[in-house]
Amino acid sequence: MRHKILVTGGAGYIGSHTTLALLEADYDVIVLDNLSNSSKASLERVGDIAGRKPLFIEGDLRDAALVNQIFKDHPIESVLHFAALKSVEESVREPLRYFENNLFSTMTLCQAMASANVFNLVFSSSAVVYGTPSIVPIAENHPVGQTTNPYGRSKFMIEQMLTDLAHSDPRWKIAILRYFNPVGAHASGRIGEDPNGIPNNLLPYICRVAVGTLTELKIFGNDYPTIDGTGVRDYIHVLDLANGHLSALDAIRKNSGTHIWNLGTGQGHSVLEVVKAFEAISDRPIPYKIAPRRAGDVAACFANVSKAERELGWKATYTLNEMLRDAWKWQSTNPLGYK
Ligand code: NAD
Ligand code: UFG
């Protein structure tokens, strides 16, 4: 029988790519998603690509009765927990909605897991927990918690909650994965990132300028102490990230406790480098203007990935050009996303 996995938030950007990777690796997948930031179409397309569908349950992770019932109905062995609200800007405006959604859904999930004797959990954390890094590349033992916004604090609080949980009961096997900047899409161009409204993040914004739904990019600051003054980030292909989850799942099944891994490439790229590389790949101009720095942004943020390489035997493989090529294939063949 196949290993059965519950994927929360599996209709979303990273969850849909990871669901595909799981199906391709012969897992059975159940997705629970309330579609608050995604579309069912992503999972239909995942099913087409894999030749096998995940079971989709539309519902909210904060609904304890529903979540308990899912564990009663299905012999789930492990959980990948992606479901969360993720906009930094929105979290500053609506902190309670962010804490309520992100914390309460994780608590409900963990309670239901414990009742069902399911203890393997992979959690989507973020480099946002490092706050303003005191040193780059950032290793997992860099201090955490000096986060600058409620979204980041919700991730930090969940990390602490999961660590306390694992201390309380040695049956828990928990991976905390700190993602750097996920970009790109499946090479088929059929699934990809489709944010609601005007994107906050660099790559989706550039993609929309390239297809003409937005007119110009604002580059937030060109006076940082970086190679060309613009912000430097560690962009990682979403397919590499998806594979990192499979490696983390294998690793925790052999080891109790909480384990933290950075998932990045270890390479930093500036905004201007990304813009120039994207123009070359798409053969479209990306008009931009320099705007003031964005509140809460840091100059440079990139990962030390040696712990993940050593302990997971995992390494990111895609280059920046490949990430941009795949992001562009998705956006150019789906100019309106899943709509
Ligand atoms: P996404 O918004 O595309 O996916 C999240 C999914 O969770 C959505 O489909 C949404 O509908 C669902 N969801 C939210 N609250 C829910 C609830 N209460 N019940 C059921 N479903 C719910 O986001 P993503 O980019 O795929 O991110 C996945 C995870 O990775 C999130 O936890 C996010 O915080 C984390 N992360 C993302 C990034 C990034 O840049 N994309 C970086 C670091 C960490
Ligand atoms: N940027 C622009 N213009 C834009 C958007 C972004 O110049 O329109 C710049 C930013 O200033 C930054 C870089 O592009 O220098 C990357 O910005 P993103 O918004 O794409 O990504 P961030 O690094 O700010 O944030 C991302 C996720 C967060 C997560 C964080 C750390 O969006 O959720 O990485 O993992 F917390």
Q: Best mutation site among 8, 82, 130 for ligand 1, i.e. most ligand atoms within 8 A of its Cβ?
A: 82
Closest residue (by CA) to atom 20 of ligand 2? 201
What is the model's pLDDT at position 148? Answer: 87
Q: How far is the CA of 83 from the centre of ligand 1 (A)?
A: 5
DSSP E strands in the chain: the ranges are 4-8, 28-33, 55-58, 78-81, 120-126, 173-179, 181-183, 217-220, 232-233, 235-237, 257-263, 269-270, 288-291, 300-301
Q: How far is the CA of 283 from the centre of ligand 1 (A)?
A: 31
Helices and strands of the chain, counted as H and E runs: 11, 14
Q: How far is the CA of 85 from the centre of ligand 1 (A)?
A: 6
| pTM as predicted | 0.98
> Could you tell me the residue ranges of all domains in the chain?
4-183+235-265+304-314
Say yes or no: CB of residue 122 within 6 Å of ligand 1.
Answer: no
Q: How far is the CA of 243 from the centre of ligand 2 (A)?
A: 23
Which distant-in-sequence residues (6+ apart) come within 8 Å of 170 by Cβ? 256, 257
Q: How far is the CA of 100 from the centre of ligand 2 (A)?
A: 24
CA distance 257 to 175: 8
Closest residue (by CA) to atom 22 of ligand 1? 83
Structure tokens at 282: 């798409």
Say yes or no: CB of residue 11 within 6 Å of ligand 1.
Answer: yes
Name the closest ligand to CA 275.
Answer: 2
What is the model's pLDDT at position 1? Answer: 82
- Nearest atom in ligand 2 to the alpha carbon of residue 87 is 33
Residue 106 near residue 67 (C-beta atoms within 8 A) = no
Say yes or no: CB of residue 271 within 6 Å of ligand 1.
Answer: no
CA distance 169 to 114: 10
Q: How far is CA 276 from CA 252, 283, 289, 295, 321, in A?
A: 40, 10, 14, 24, 10
Which ranges of the chain have pLDDT less than 70?
A: none
Structure tokens at 339: 């709509």
Is 151 noted as a catalytic residue in this protein? yes
CA distance 321 to 47: 27
- Nearest atom in ligand 2 to the alpha carbon of residue 291 is 7
Residue 274 near residue 235 (C-beta atoms within 8 A) = yes
- Nearest atom in ligand 1 to the alpha carbon of residue 83 is 7
Which of 151, 179, 224, 318 is an active site residue? 151
Say yes or no: CB of residue 207 within 6 Å of ligand 2.
Answer: no
What is the model's pLDDT at position 238? Answer: 98
Which distant-in-sequence residues (6+ apart) come within 8 Å of 242 by Cβ? 14, 17, 18, 20, 21
**Residue found by looking up tokens 């940082």 in the block:** 224
- Nearest atom in ligand 2 to the alpha carbon of residue 205 is 8
Fold entry, domain 4-183+235-265+304-314: Rossmann fold (3.40.50)
What is the model's pLDDT at position 296? Answer: 87
